Amino acid sequence: MSDPRTGSGEVRVFADYQRDFTEVADVVVVGSGPCGAVAAYELAAAGKRVVLLEEGPPFTPADFELEGSLSMARTMREGGLRFTMGTVMPTMQAIALGGGSLVNSAICNRCPDFRFQEWANEADLARTSRKDLEPHYDAIAAFLGIAPTPDAVQGPRNLLFRDGCKQLGYGSEPCPRNVRECRGSGECFTGCRARAKQSMDISYVPAAIQLGARVLTSVRAEELLSNGRRVTGVAGRVVAPFSGAPGPRFRVEAKAVVLAAGVLASPLLLQRSGNLANSSGQVGEQLQFHPGTSVLGVFPDPVDPIFGATQGYQCLHFLRDGFKLETLWAPPGVLAVRMPGMGHQFKQELLDLRFATVFDAIASCHRSRGRVRERGKSLQPSMRWSFHPDDAAILAHAVWVMAEIFFAAGARKIVPGVASHADEMHSIAEAESLRSRPPRARDMVCASTHVFGTARMHGDPRHGVVDEDLKAHDLDNLYVVDTSVFPLSPAVNPMFTGMALARRSALALAERV
């Protein structure tokens, strides 16, 4: 990309706002995460006047924190301490230009066709298949350089996963990622210092700016403005980075609104804007997650885990069983939390981290659903969600399979992180209890960053919020283009499919506005 300042667009940061202001645009996009960024770029490329709103600030490498808790406190909503009620489960959403792409591991999987067929059955969809979305996947892949993670940056901890899967006959593959010239720092979750990850803040957003988009950061959309069947714009406040202290007010008047604030914020904005787009009663309902859990394995020889792609290898062998397996690395302090013991024993265990790697599983949980509402007038979500025992059983099965892979790869022990079982297991025979006595939901330490369903796409306006172009059934010019439109889990990491749907939606909108 050439100098993005030569274009007609601009970016504004917190220091740029002195007083209340109004902007006029063809389209205002709320949220600069993967879906919003793609939509903003495509609309700008189509010659539309685009304003892109983002509540968080842009992060430069000087703003990254290498230590896990401080990084999460700065880049995540509610300091990374957001959790569901009902079944208590942490869930993390980023607040930054580029949204979650700044701090995710860049995995870009295409949703398998069997899952699209389940979507079609669940939500009366006629033109949302893998074949329908393939051109959009391809265009995004070309733009971001999405490619399988090369062996040169896998590092031993990712390759051990491959070896274990191979021993057991489970197919595995390098994770496709939106990364160029990865150096294997394993720092995806705290911000890529090597600037290899093509997060939205350094890819689609600058490209949109070069095409004329105006990007307003540190502004919080608080209300969608509407008149009858039309939305007329967005109103909100400038907010200070990190503290959220409110500043001047703003308004963006536009011919169309693209809502891409995320699965938890998009429905809240609709609810607080006079319960917009909710004749179906589905706004904020059908909240679904990919609950994830992990197992740590310790090998006889040093693995040097500080080198290697954060999530370099994956196993799609069990997708139809309801789960996906991946390798995982995170700031060492985050991983150490799971190590057993106290005092000197704990310290001894910590030395094992140099010999360790982590595998994780994410589960498609169609029976586990919940809802989201605003917590008072806080603009923060209150989530109620229940982990269905049958879905928990899927994740428990995945824990057993991860144990199998570790021992097949030569691990000398595993730390399953399951409360109802031994802290450590030293052989596949010891781990057998994970299969014979599967852990229950409350025994597993789960977390989730993949969320869906709170403004679902449905062919029938009585049962869904948006149509297959992601236009709200109830309104003529409101589009919801984040993963809240997924009627069900995509079986794999959702970012790429959300972007593909957003691109298709933006191209349709560009024809209409």
Partner 1 sequence: MTLPGLIALALLAWAVLRFAAGYGPRDPALRQLSAREYALVCAAADAAFPPGGVIPLSGTQARIPAHADRYLAALPPRNRLLIRLLFVLIEHATLIFPAPGWDGWRRFSALSLVQRMAVLEGWAHSRFLPRRLAFQGLRAVLTMGYFACPAVLRAMGLAPLAIETPVVAADLLYPPIGQPKSSIRFGVADLDRAVPRTPLDPRGPLQPGFEAPPA
- Contacts to partner 1 from residues 373-392, by CB under 8 A: 378, 380
Q: How many C-beta atoms surround the C-beta of residue 424 within 10 A?
A: 17
Instruction: Single out the residue of 306, 319, 422, 513 in contact with partner 1 (rule: CB under 8 A).
Output: 306
Shortest reach from residue 502's CB to partner 1, in Å: 20
Q: Does 442 bind partner 1 (CB under 8 A)?
A: yes
- Residues binding partner 1: number (CB under 8 A): 76
Q: Does 437 bind partner 1 (CB under 8 A)?
A: no
The span from the CA of 64 to the CA of 270, in Å, is 33
Q: Does 145 bind partner 1 (CB under 8 A)?
A: no
Q: Which is nearer to partner 1, 74 or 136 (CB)?
A: 74
Shortest reach from residue 504's CB to partner 1, in Å: 26
What beta strand segments (E) does 137-268 contain?
146-148, 173-174, 176-178, 214-216, 219-227, 230-239, 246-259
Q: Does 229 bind partner 1 (CB under 8 A)?
A: no
Q: Does 187 bind partner 1 (CB under 8 A)?
A: yes
Q: Which is nearer to partner 1, 56 or 233 (CB)?
A: 56
Q: Does 348 bind partner 1 (CB under 8 A)?
A: yes
Cβ proximity of 395 and 293 under 8 Å = yes
Q: Which stretch binds partner 1 (CB under 8 A): 152-160, 167-175, 407-415, 457-465?
A: 152-160
Instruction: Single out the residue of 84, 109, 185, 357 in contact with partner 1 (rule: CB under 8 A).
Output: 185
Q: Of 26, 47, 99, whose CA–CA distance to 479 is shortest? A: 26
Q: Does 11 bind partner 1 (CB under 8 A)?
A: yes
Instruction: Single out the residue of 126, 344, 377, 511 in contact with partner 1 (rule: CB under 8 A).
Output: 344
Shortest reach from residue 358's CB to partner 1, in Å: 13
Q: How many C-beta atoms surround the C-beta of residue 148 within 10 A?
A: 12
Instruction: Single out the residue of 246, 300, 302, 389 in contact with partner 1 (rule: CB under 8 A).
Output: 302
In angstroms, the Cα distances linking 133 to 116, 140, 270, 510 are 10, 11, 27, 18
In angstroms, the Cα distances linking 119 to 107, 468, 482 are 22, 11, 16
The span from the CA of 24 to the CA of 489, in Å, is 36
Shortest reach from residue 321's CB to partner 1, in Å: 27
Single-letter residue type at 336: A
Q: Which stretch binds partner 1 (CB under 8 A): 46-54, 111-119, 250-258, 350-358?
A: 350-358
The span from the CA of 284 to the CA of 369, in Å, is 11
Shortest reach from residue 31's CB to partner 1, in Å: 18
Interface positions, 55-74, toward partner 1 (CB under 8 A)? 57-63, 66-70, 73-74
Cβ proximity of 467 and 128 under 8 Å = no
Q: What is the pairing mode between strands 10-12 and 21-30?
A: unpaired
Cβ proximity of 252 and 25 under 8 Å = yes
Interface positions, 23-62, toward partner 1 (CB under 8 A)? 57-62
Q: Which is nearer to partner 1, 444 or 509 (CB)?
A: 444
Helix (H, G, I), strand (E, B) or coil at 414: strand
